[in-house]
Structure 1
Amino acid sequence: DREEIEKFITGYYATITRLDHQIGELVKTLEEGGILENTAILFLSDNGYMLGNHGLGNKITMHEESVRVPMFLRWGGLPQAGIRTDELVSSLDLYPTLMDIAGVEKPKWLEGESLLPLCENPDEPLRDYVASECVGVGGEPGQGHRMVRSKEWKYILTGVNEDAVFNEEEDPYEMNNLVGSEENRETLNRMREWMAEWMDRVGDGHARPPKP
């Protein structure tokens, strides 16, 4: 329903506007207290949102509109303001980043990487792929969706073991599933291997992606 979608979009933009104002108030209060430059502010959303994209609302999908989130860091120790990067980062990187800011060494077992080196060199590759998952949906162990994403490609594995692969550079709205494309078979197999690697690492008991 187009009218309902327009209401959702209006509400979403209103929420963003209010958040922007409240963050400004927080920064103003810290500045007035003389502690702004000694304070790290890290802001992010827990998920994106489907506003009619792919005919969907809400979240809990692995499409970009749902899985990509806004994030910013304000801290006086950064080399400059306005740093942006196209490298692959994850919410798993936030804890190591805050530890780095606090001068605490990251344990070897901890997932994620500090983003401070990326702030020094925004074009330095951080990893080959990033992963995301939404499992245990509806109380069923293993059910849900998983994805791995490189800069150019995304691979999605659903709870019923259907998969999809999208070229994010040529198809940013993810409208063309290339799983059946012989031209991209090598890429699909590599993404499936990355997915299996990730699932093994986190102890995911769901069925692995189809083998070549």
Structure 2
Amino acid sequence: MKRSFFFQILVALLAIGQLQALADSPPKQPNIIFIFSDDHAYQAISAYGSKLTTTPNIDRLAKEGGLFKNALVTNSICGPSRATLLTGKYSHMNGYKRNDRTLFDTSQALLSRTLQQTGYQTAWVGKMHLNSLPAGFDYWNVLPGQGHYYNPDFISMPHDTTRYKGYVSDLITQFSIDFLEKRDTEKPFFMIVGHKATHREWLPDLQDLGSFDQVKIPVPDNFYDDYKGRNSAAHQDMTLDKTMRLKEDLKVDIDYKSWIYNRFDPEQKKIFKAYYDGVSEDFHSKNLSGKALIEWKYQRYMNDYLSTAKSLDRNIGKLLDYLDESGLAQNTIVIYASDQGFYLGEHGWFDKRFIYEESLKTPFLIRYPGVVKPGSQYDQMMLNIDWAPSMIEMAGGKIPDGMQGKSFVPLLRPQSAAKTPWRKEAYYHYYEYPQPHRVHPHFGLRTNRYKIAYFYKGGDSWELYDLQKDPSEMKNIYGQKGTEKLTADLKAKLKKLMQEYKDTEALEILATAKP
């Protein structure tokens, strides 16, 4: 009798131990959804402390999961960032350096193909923008090129192009849910949801037009940057003052025959036209010039940008709600990221490209049930080359030898984060010049406190910033007395990373760079 009683206790204890083990470690193959927006600035996300707007659905991921405060890109431009997502490699290694007509090489080791080999059903829905059709995906339905905001075309398997009525973010969400409902439920799934928003020309869903009309948005403190001591910053062509176009970007006196606006049906056009006719009337009635004109343009830019982000955030909420309602949420990792950061008037700019913080940093949030404690924040410098190897580890797969990134999964658990060696410096290299924004190509290094960069092909100059004293990167201290040792140390680390990442082109430029 006693033996039976103790045997029952032992069985119970073993069962409790097994349950605890299951609670401490998630299933070996969770589903993974990677929501990938375009040009969405962390400054426009309330989870990152934005005072400009609220993003309640993106914020859900921060509240129910974690947020990386120093997620950085390795080349701040759209197509190359997508190539890095798929390959886990720098642009010079994956072959996709610029937004041009380069065909993305799909024969190299890819995140999607590796996950297929790990037993996953894979899908890409929405914007891809790599001049190649998806590879390593069991299902895809993608926008051709940049795609359109209203009544867009989609290319689906095998190569069928179809035009759909509606707003692009709504359609991408609908097609993503369609895949989830029709998928093979015997397999875990991996899906990239590629949003067009918030890419130029910043066109909101019709229901969101004018969402910020009653909000006076103050210009950033460095909006009227004079670019003193920064030759390449002065050379660029991406200012709200001189570069932003009244007709195409700010929708003053719209040409409805243009490719941007010629897709409306009569009812859509009526709503859109009524709103932007009002914008045009406001512009002409004020007869603005000088700073008043520049700040009017800024207000209009921010109104459309933030309204487009509002449309995006609502659709992220729709997808999260579906996961809850379908019972998928508990075994699905959800990641939200943008292809890079974006300028919201800082330095007087829009767009990206520069190594400066607003375009170097990108939002990155992850909800990972059973692993990421709700409300977590991570300070470590994580790069977009890390995304692919991390998701492969989450899936229980083998990371291909050629991937240059590191899995950040150990950082997600407090008990392993403290024991995990992690990078102290991040390497960056941007190439596209002179079109479309005349930003000199450059490479550089960022540490927790300092940043050094060299601009070439006409830039031919160094820049050095103390991010602790000068977080807005307004004072180039390169060459100042007292920075000699710091500069030598940062240059040595820069060269070491070029060698580690096999950037031979950069090493050649560095060897002949101006002192």
Give the TM-score band, short-chain normalised.
0.7 to 0.9
Q: Which moved more, 1:91-100 or 1:114-123?
A: 114-123
1:105-140 superposed Cα distances (whole Å, 9 cap, x missing partner): 32343211111111113666621111222214348x
CA distance in 2, matches of 1:137, 1:75: 39
Q: Percent identity?
A: 24
Task: State the Cα deviation string for residues 114-170 of structure 1 (Å, max 9, x = none).
Answer: 11111113666621111222214348xxx6122210101111221233111111111
Distance in 2 between residues matched to 1:23 and 1:181, nearest whole Å:
47
Provide the C-alpha distance between the structure 2 equivalents of 1:176 and 1:60, rounded to a whole number of angstroms: 19
Q: For 1:29 and 1:46, locate their aligned partners in 2 and report how far apart those are by CA, in whole Å.
A: 24
Looking at structure 2, the residues matched to 10 and 68 of structure 1 have their Cα atoms a distance apart, in angstroms, of 22
Deviation at 1:88, TM superposition (A): 0.7
1:192 aligns with: 491
Does the alignment pair 1:208 with 2:505? no
Larger displacement relative to structure 2 (128-137 or 11-20): 11-20
Could you list the per-position Cα deviations for residues 145-199 of structure 1 after superposition, in whole angstroms to 9, with x for gaps in the alignment?
Answer: 2221010111122123311111111111001111022222222122222222333
- After alignment, is 105-114 or 91-100 more displaced? 105-114
Counterpart for residue 99 of structure 1: 392
2:447 match: 150
SS in structure 2 at match of 1:10: helix
TM-score computed with the length of structure 1 as normaliser:
0.88
Match of 2:468 in 1: 169
Distance in 1 of aligned mates of 2:462 and 2:308: 34
**AA partner of residue 149 (structure 1):** R
Helix, strand or coil: the match of 2:444?
Answer: strand
Equivalent residues in 2 for 1:5-84 (5 A)? 5-84=298-377
Whether contact under 8 Å (2:455, 2:461) holds in the other structure is: yes
- Sort the Cα spacing of 1:3 and 1:202 in 2 relative to 1 into closer, same or farther, 3 A: farther
User: CA shift at 1:96, angstroms?
Assistant: 1.1
Q: Which runs of 5+ in 1 are unaligned?
A: none
Query: Secondary structure at the residue paired with 1:40?
Result: strand
- The structure whose RCO (Cα within 8 Å, separation 6+) is larger is 2
Distance 1:90 1:3 in 2: 36
Structure 2 partner of 1:117: 410
Residues 177-188 of structure 1 mapped to structure 2, 5 A cutoff: 177-188=476-487
| Larger radius of gyration between Structure 1 and Structure 2 | 2
Q: Show the counterpart of 2:422.
A: 126
Q: Is the 8 A contact 1:78 1:119 kept in 2?
A: yes
Judged with a 3 Å threshold, the aligned counterparts in structure 2 of structure 1 residues 202 and 19 are, in CA distance, closer, same or farther, namely farther
Give distance in 2, aligned partners of 1:180 and 1:133. 22
**Structure 1 residues 155, 53: closer, same or farther in 2, change over 3 A?**
same
On the 8 A contact 1:146/1:156 being kept in 2, the answer is yes
Letter of the 2:354 partner, please give it: T
Distance in 2 (CA, whole Å) between partners of 1:156 and 1:127 is 18
Offset at residue 39 of structure 1 (A):
1.4
Runs of 4+ deviating beyond 6 Å:
none
CA contact (8 A) 1:44 1:70 kept: yes
Assess if the C-alpha contact under 8 Å between 2:444 and 2:494 holds in 1.
yes
Unaligned runs of 5+ in 2: 1-293
Give the letter aligned to residue 90 of structure 1. L
* CA displacement 1:75-112 (0-9 Å, x = unmatched): 21424112111111111110111011101132343211
Q: Given that residues 87 and 125 in structure 1 are in contact (C-alpha distance below 8 angstroms), is that contact kept between their aligned partners in structure 2?
A: no
Contact 2:460 2:514 in 1 (8 A): no
Letter in 1 for 2:325: E
Task: Report the 3-state secondary structure (helix = DSSP H, G, I; strand = E; otherwise coil) of the residue aligned with 2:379.
Answer: coil
Distance 1:133 1:164 in 2: 14
Deviations for 1:21-65, whole angstroms, at most 9, x for unmatched residues? 211111111121111122121111112112222232211111111
Query: RMSD of the TM alignment (CA)?
Result: 2.2
Asked if 1 retains the 8 angstrom alpha-carbon contact of 2:452 and 2:463, the reply is yes
The equivalent of 2:431 in structure 1 is 135
d(CA) in 2 for partners of 1:70 and 1:90?
11
CA contact (8 A) 1:147 1:195 kept: yes
Q: Is the 8 A contact 1:89 1:126 kept in 2?
A: no
